[in-house]
Chain A
Amino acid sequence: MFHLYLPIAGNSVNVLLIFGLGGLVGILSGIFGVGGGFLMTPLLIMIGIPPTIAAASDSNQIVGASTSGTLAHYKMGNVDFKMGVLLLIGGVIGGTLGVQVIKVLRQMGNADFLIKITYVLMLGFVGSYMFIESLQALKKKEAPATAAPQKQSKYAKLIGKLPWQTDFEKSGIRLSILMPLVLGTFVGILAAIMGVGGGFIMVPVMVYLLRMPMHVVVGTSLFQILFTCVDVTIMQSYSNHTVDFILALILLLGSTLGAQFGAKISKKLKGDQLKILLSSLVLIVMVKMLLDLLLTPHIMLAFTGGH
């Protein structure tokens, strides 16, 4: 009785297992502001869901988790809508460009290889940088505070010179609107190539390049992911018929509940603690992907599709 048949996936699944997976990823969504696509899709594939169905249905459930997470963070005053909309515009442009890049890669052959390598390099770079930076920040806090004011970095001076500077009240920063547009485009290209919502790239971009405070980053990132996944769900459903509604609904129930808990947990954690935890998670996933590339696979054939 705990099994439900998934008509699009063409298989039955244990409801409790799917609910649990959704809950786990939902908690991460609420804590870190990542959609969880880079975790959930591989987990679904591991339990036997076809890759294309896993990816598309995952986007569907991310809509629910991100709605719940965005609302939770909005109520806590953590969503910078102005920044989010600019990042989204960039993301849509980048996503469209990214799809064209994929087309070219496919014509050249071995698009899969480049995508996987991009994953490993991006996850490795982002995870390592965040981990090291967060460790250094934590160590500095243990030392007695100095009275001398911090010098403005070269990067901060550079971005201060860009045109169309505007205030982002929620984030408490002043930036050129070019920054979120350009960075959003860059993340959109990567997200299209890697087939994810973009949270685990967007969060470090917001923290390190846009200089937003961590807790605004989480809510704003969820806002951007929400709209990306709405677009993907509709397109995948229309073009490929790969959205399994039953699967998405069970994942949703688990993940929306999880996102609520995640938002509460994130409130109790300091920004640097959040960064260390997220960077550790990213590094674990990178190691897993690297091992998949290095170790001899159990079966030498695979179905087409998937990340």
Chain B
Amino acid sequence: MSIIIMTMYFMCLPEPAGSTVSVKVKHEPNLIAIGTFFNGIQLAVSGKVATENEVVVIVKGKQEELTLKKKGKALGLLWMNLGDVHFKKVPNLYILYSSKGMMELAASDAKAWEQLGIGFEYLKKEMEIEAPQAKRNDLAQEFLKLKQNQGLYASHPGEISFGQKSGTEKSFKALVWIPARISPDEYQVQVMEIHNGIIVGNSMDQLKVEEQGVPAMISSLAFNHSLLYGFLAVLIAVAAGLVMDFFFGTGKGGGAH
């Protein structure tokens, strides 16, 4: 059931203009396993496009709602968290890689870039912010800064490389860095083939991220048996304290000084 809902969700995303064909793409790994030593991972997205075209790869997560604290000056002097700001329709992950030609397009034809419906400026336009209109742009900018600081939003222009040409096609490869902060969830890998600023090819694939092994066990214990988890955490802390005292303690207790 959840797969059906997921597929319908991804199918409801904005469609690129004009007729598009599917881009031949594969990504590796297909499943990101968060294990004990997980510290982020490189997702290799590769495929073939027409020799004259450019490529954009976007790894993005589901849209979510967030309530954040807004900083303001109290008494004209002190910076404090004053008030909440509600953000809606913001993806929990947005990582964009593009080929060099896309950088030239962004610099020379801002309107064409805008019409592609990608990038941070597009995210700023699309997000809903419950705040006075005058402050909207600033808040959107601060939101992007916060997410970039976390590593969950990133833009890497010009970092898709092209390989050998064979006939009318050329291969491309993007090494997308997936940060350690990624949450276990389902994500979408979108690849767009661009010709003169128009999307001519599009493909969307699912990417699953899940905890495995020790992290999965601990998460399960913490959320499903939270009281037991709390007592265990305390017991282990006390035991560690006693063990450390046994091995490194001051030995026989002398008199007070």
Please give the residue numbers on chain A whose beta carbons come within 8 Å of chain B beta carbons, in ascending order.
Answer: 1, 3-5, 7-8, 10-12, 48, 60-61, 63-68, 71-72, 74-78, 110, 112-113, 116-117, 170, 215-216, 230, 233-238, 241, 243, 245-246, 248-249, 252-253, 256-257, 259-260, 263-264, 267, 292-297, 299-304
Minimal Cβ-Cβ distance residue in A for B183: A10
Minimal beta-carbon separation of A108 from chain B (angstroms): 13
Q: Count of B residues near A, CB < 8 Å? A: 66
B-side contacts of A238, CB under 8 Å? 226-227, 230
The answer to whether A65 touches B241, judged by C-beta atoms less than 8 angstroms apart, is: yes
**Which residues of chain B in 134-190 are interfacial with respect to chain A, using CB atoms and an 8 Å cutoff?**
138-139, 142-143, 145-146, 149-150, 180-181, 183
The answer to whether A67 touches B237, judged by C-beta atoms less than 8 angstroms apart, is: yes
Minimal Cβ-Cβ distance residue in A for B181: A11
- Give A267 to B254 CA distance when docked, in angstroms: 11
Say yes or no for B29: interface residue by CB 8 A criterion: no
* A–B Cβ pairs within 8 angstroms, 11 of them: A4-B36, A5-B37, A7-B214, A8-B218, A12-B40, A67-B245, A234-B234, A237-B222, A257-B248, A297-B71, A300-B142
* Stretch in B6-14, B72-80, B194-202 touching the partner: B72-80
The answer to whether B229 touches A237, judged by C-beta atoms less than 8 angstroms apart, is: yes
The answer to whether B254 touches A241, judged by C-beta atoms less than 8 angstroms apart, is: no
A-side contacts of B214, CB under 8 Å? 7
Say yes or no for B105: interface residue by CB 8 A criterion: no
Minimal Cβ-Cβ distance residue in A for B85: A301
Minimal beta-carbon separation of A293 from chain B (angstroms): 4
**Which residues of chain B in 59-106 are interfacial with respect to chain A, using CB atoms and an 8 Å cutoff?**
67-71, 74, 77-82, 84-85
Complex partner residue of A110 from B82, B145, B242, CB under 8 angstroms: B82
Minimal beta-carbon separation of A44 from chain B (angstroms): 15
The answer to whether A302 touches B69, judged by C-beta atoms less than 8 angstroms apart, is: yes
B-side contacts of A296, CB under 8 Å? 79
Complex partner residue of B253 from A4, A48, A75, A299, CB under 8 angstroms: A75
The answer to whether A234 touches B231, judged by C-beta atoms less than 8 angstroms apart, is: yes
Complex partner residue of B257 from A243, A252, A267, CB under 8 angstroms: A267
Minimal beta-carbon separation of A119 from chain B (angstroms): 12
Given A75-B254, A246-B218, output 10 extra A-B contacts at Cβ < 8 Å: A3-B37, A5-B35, A8-B222, A75-B250, A113-B74, A215-B256, A293-B80, A300-B70, A301-B69, A302-B68
Please give the residue numbers on chain B whose beta carbons come within 8 Å of chain A beta carbons, in ascending order.
Answer: 34-40, 67-71, 74, 77-82, 84-85, 138-139, 142-143, 145-146, 149-150, 180-181, 183, 211, 214-216, 218-219, 222-223, 226-227, 229-234, 236-238, 240-242, 244-245, 248-257
Known: A4-B36, A245-B222. A303 touches B256 (CB 8 A): no
Complex partner residue of A3 from B39, B240, B249, CB under 8 angstroms: B39
A-side contacts of B248, CB under 8 Å? 257, 260
The answer to whether B146 touches A215, judged by C-beta atoms less than 8 angstroms apart, is: no
Which residue of B233, B236, B252 has the most chain A CB atoms within 10 A of its CB atom? B233
The answer to whether A299 touches B149, judged by C-beta atoms less than 8 angstroms apart, is: yes
B-side contacts of A64, CB under 8 Å? 237-238, 240-241, 244
Known: A7-B222, A216-B256, A241-B222. A293 touches B78 (CB 8 A): yes
A-side contacts of B139, CB under 8 Å? 300-301
Minimal beta-carbon separation of B200 from chain A (angstroms): 38
The answer to whether B79 touches A4, judged by C-beta atoms less than 8 angstroms apart, is: no
Minimal beta-carbon separation of A45 from chain B (angstroms): 13
Minimal beta-carbon separation of B72 from chain A (angstroms): 8
- Give A215 to B242 CA distance when docked, in angstroms: 21
- Give A246 to B149 CA distance when docked, in angstroms: 24
- Give A77 to B69 CA distance when docked, in angstroms: 48
The answer to whether B245 touches A260, judged by C-beta atoms less than 8 angstroms apart, is: yes
The answer to whether B234 touches A233, judged by C-beta atoms less than 8 angstroms apart, is: yes
B-side contacts of A295, CB under 8 Å? 79
A-side contacts of B37, CB under 8 Å? 1, 3-5, 12
